[in-house]
Structure 1
Amino acid sequence: MNRRLLVAGLIGIAFAAAAYALMAPAPESTSRPNVAVAVELSPAERGSLVTRRRFAGNLEPAAEFQVAPKVGGQILEVLVDIGDSVARGDIVTRLDDAEFQQSVAQARAELAVAEARLQEAVSAANLATRRLDRIERLEARGVASASELDDASGEAQAQQATVAVTRAQRDQAEAALNSAEVRLGYTRVRADWPGEDETRLVGERMVDAGDTVAANTPLLSIVDIDQLRAVIEVPQSLYGGLAVGDPAQILPPGRPDSEALKARISRISPRFDPESRRTRVELIVDNQDRRLAAGMFVQVGLESRRVEDALIVPRAALVNRQGRQGVFTVAPDADSARFVAVEVALESDDRAALRGVESLDGPVVVLGQDQLTDGAAITRAGQAQRS
């Protein structure tokens, strides 16, 4: 019995030893290789950094002129079409002028009648004046009576009055002719806009030949797109920081940020919409190269914050280590990275401006920094240069 107990105890001890051997941790290696981390570098640079808020807006022509006739009639010919260049004063549309030609002919005939009547009245007045002179001489010699002198004087005065009336009628007929000729000229509709620009483009055509239009009916839209006006609406929070002349950017859809166009604020409305609590802001953008067109949808970037003369690094270089924000720098002849704690003053797009940092020992790590610790060995995979 004792022998069986002894054998069972020995077997238990053997199993326990085997289990301990299986569960015991492996001995630690006496040395651990220091593997270099492949990194990419980018230099820090000194300059200014701007943050912008973007707003959706529409482009409008800087100036637009609606061509409309001053008289009604049937359109005989439209001489321009959309996209055509028009010089100030060019005839762009012709109306049927038969009726107006007839009015001119009638006014010219009435003027001729008035001229003839005036000449007749002047002749009669001259005769009356000569008769009065003769009666006055005869009356002075006692040959003519006082009553004859009175009659001659009255006749002369009456004839002078007739001359004045017929001269006024002649002037009236002449004015009627001038008016008829002016109205005839209105059948040749001109693009005559105010301003200094001598040429514009046809932006819209509203009529065709054969249409009958009333006076002041828009026929064509003539636009100036050498400069365009971008219109946006901004909230109250930005209103106090905006001023006429402030710089801005215009970015048409589908174009990268690098192709943003320079603009400036030209007008700021002093009134907010009571429902949206936004106000209208207009910006002017140069369009001499005609890359933009009126009616386009654009993104407008307005400056919200700016930092001048700051040390700027790529945002990708920023890391957090033990609750501190910083960057890893690499001295030009070093094979290890050093963690430098920094304070960020402003971030915009892919760059960050640092506060209170004059310089860094070398370029910053922009790829591979997630695997780095202070003093970690590195190998340079390439150094990206910023343009």
Structure 2
Amino acid sequence: MRKWVVGLALVVAAGAAYAVFGSKDEAAQASGAGGAKGGPAGAFAQPPMTVQLAKVTRASLQAYVEVVGSLVGAQTVDIVPRAQGRLQSIGVRIGDSVSRGQVLAKVEDEELLEQLRQSDASYEVARATIRQREADLSFARTNLARNKSLFERSLLPRQSLDDAEARHQASQAQLDLAQAQLQQASSRREELRINLANTTVNSPVNGFVAKRFVDPGAFVTQNVMLLSVVDISIVRLVVNLVERDLRKVSVGAGAAVSVDAYPGETFSGRVARVAPVLDPATRTAEMEIEVPNPSGRLKPGMYARVRLISANKENALVVPKSAMVDAQGRRGVYMVQKGQAVFRAVTLGLEEPDRIEVTDGLKEGDEVVTTGASALRDGAKVLLAGPASPGATSGGAPKADPAAQARGTAAPR
């Protein structure tokens, strides 16, 4: 009896399981059949990709090399005094504009002025001494000539002639000494004049005060820096050019410089110098770009982006860069034929940030997929988005119906 009850329970359980799972399988089969016939389950099929086309056109292209770096002044000069002493005044502050020859600072000069006055007096004494020695020499020369005449006529003893010659020689020596003393006094006076002039500190360049290091009252020497003046009438950008770009850039090439301080604005410059050798550690060559800066708007230290024009081409065949894809191991674009995406391999030329030259594989007027190109595969069904981008046409694919797309992608209830 117990075995019979257990067997009956197993039969009931099996029937219940079939009722639950078997009905689901049949429903799934029915659903699949309905999908094949175009029923509601067909909504699970992959919908066509919505894309946008653009025409292949001709345009002028410029190839660029882009580099970045910090601006520096054309010339930076550290101002130091040429005379030591207490700083009497300093007449400029950071940011002030200065011109060549302008007085920037002054070192106290009272002591030098007193020394110069004494030197002037010594110089005048030396000049008076020379005049006296010249008169003495003239008298000694006349006396010697007279004594020689008397000696030749035996009217004067030899000793008197010898004394006259000795006095003449002594007078000449005294004049030579006086002339040397005058030269010494003149040199000393000139030295003091130079030292006095050196107490005035002038700017050697046109520019702006970048730094100020001391204030009046400080004791300064030739080793103490007073100011730093930078010439920014021209600013420079020194960058490292990678090896692959070296052949693209030459001295004199144009450069478009932009900085964050002036968004949307560019400043024109040129390549001034390119190093003839590469750094063996970095494989880069140092390049210097000069940018005229008459208004002084560009400041040393600004971070700059530079676009160097490396090539120009007129009437080039171009496509948007958004159309370029990598497929089948090649660079190319997708075109639309009979509602399907077709991959076309191309050969490329010059590049700009948003477009690129095609040298082979396309012709003017061809239409290529731009929006959605990166998600396509060869043979995929596509719909055209509307409105198309400028220059784009239908390409033979049906227009996208947003309502239909919404219905096609909705899950069945």
| Fold conserved between structures, TM > 0.5 | yes
Distance 1:92 1:356 in 2: 66
Gapped runs of 5+ residues in structure 2?
Answer: 1-22, 40-47, 393-413
Is 1:355 aligned to 2:359, yes or no?
Answer: yes
Q: CA deviation at 1:166?
A: 0.4
Q: Please tell me the residue identity of whatever aligns with 1:130.
A: T
Residues 87 and 276 of structure 1, relative CA distance in 2, 3 Å threshold = same
Q: CA deviation at 1:206?
A: 1.9
- What per-residue deviation string (whole Å, max 9, x for no partner) do you get for residues 357-386 of structure 1? 68523776655778998997775456389x
Is the contact between residue 333 and residue 368 of structure 2 (CA under 8 Å) also seen in structure 1?
A: no
Q: CA deviation at 1:279?
A: 4.3
Aligned residues: 352
Q: Which has the higher helix share?
A: 2
Range with greater deviation from structure 2 (347-356 or 161-170): 347-356
Residues 81 and 363 of structure 1, relative CA distance in 2, 3 Å threshold = farther
The corresponding residue for 1:11 is none
Is the contact between residue 86 and residue 217 of structure 2 (CA under 8 Å) also seen in structure 1?
A: yes
Is 1:114 aligned to 2:121, yes or no?
Answer: no
Q: Please tell me the residue identity of whatever aligns with 1:224.
A: D
Q: CA deviation at 1:316?
A: 2.7
The corresponding residue for 2:221 is 214
SS of alignment partner, residue 34 of structure 2: coil
Q: CA deviation at 1:255?
A: 6.0
Which aligned pairs between 1:1-387 and structure 2 lie closer than 5 A?
Answer: 24-25=33-34, 27-28=37-38, 44-54=57-67, 56-193=68-205, 199-239=206-246, 242-253=249-260, 259-270=265-276, 272-273=278-279, 275-301=281-307, 309-318=315-324, 325-326=332-333, 341=344, 343-346=346-349, 347-356=351-360, 359-361=363-365, 366-367=370-371, 380=387, 383=390
Q: CA deviation at 1:175?
A: 1.4
Q: Please tell me the residue identity of whatever aligns with 1:233.
A: N
Q: Which has the higher strand share?
A: 1
Distance 1:46 1:357 in 2: 17
The corresponding residue for 2:5 is none
Is the contact between residue 81 and residue 202 of structure 1 (CA under 8 Å) also seen in structure 2?
A: yes
SS of alignment partner, residue 81 of structure 1: coil
- What per-residue deviation string (whole Å, max 9, x for no partner) do you get for residues 48-96 of structure 1? 2425343x42221112222221111111111222222222222211000
Is the contact between residue 70 and residue 216 of structure 1 (CA under 8 Å) also seen in structure 2?
A: no
Residues 127 and 23 of structure 1, relative CA distance in 2, 3 Å threshold = closer
Across the aligned residues of Structure 1 and Structure 2, the Cα RMSD in angstroms comes to 4.1
Is the contact between residue 58 and residue 364 of structure 2 (CA under 8 Å) also seen in structure 1?
A: no
Distance 1:227 1:340 in 2: 51
Q: CA deviation at 1:327?
A: 5.6
Identical pairs, percent: 27
Q: Please tell me the residue identity of whatever aligns with 2:94.
A: I
Q: Please tell me the residue identity of whatever aligns with 1:345.
A: L
Is the contact between residue 339 and residue 375 of structure 1 (CA under 8 Å) also seen in structure 2?
A: no
Distance 2:331 2:247 in 1: 35
Q: CA deviation at 1:186?
A: 0.4
Task: State the TM-score, normalized to the length of structure 1.
Answer: 0.74
Q: Please tell me the residue identity of whatever aligns with 1:149.
A: L
- What per-residue deviation string (whole Å, max 9, x for no partner) do you get for residues 131-156 of structure 1? 22332343344432232222212211
Distance 1:295 1:214 in 2: 30
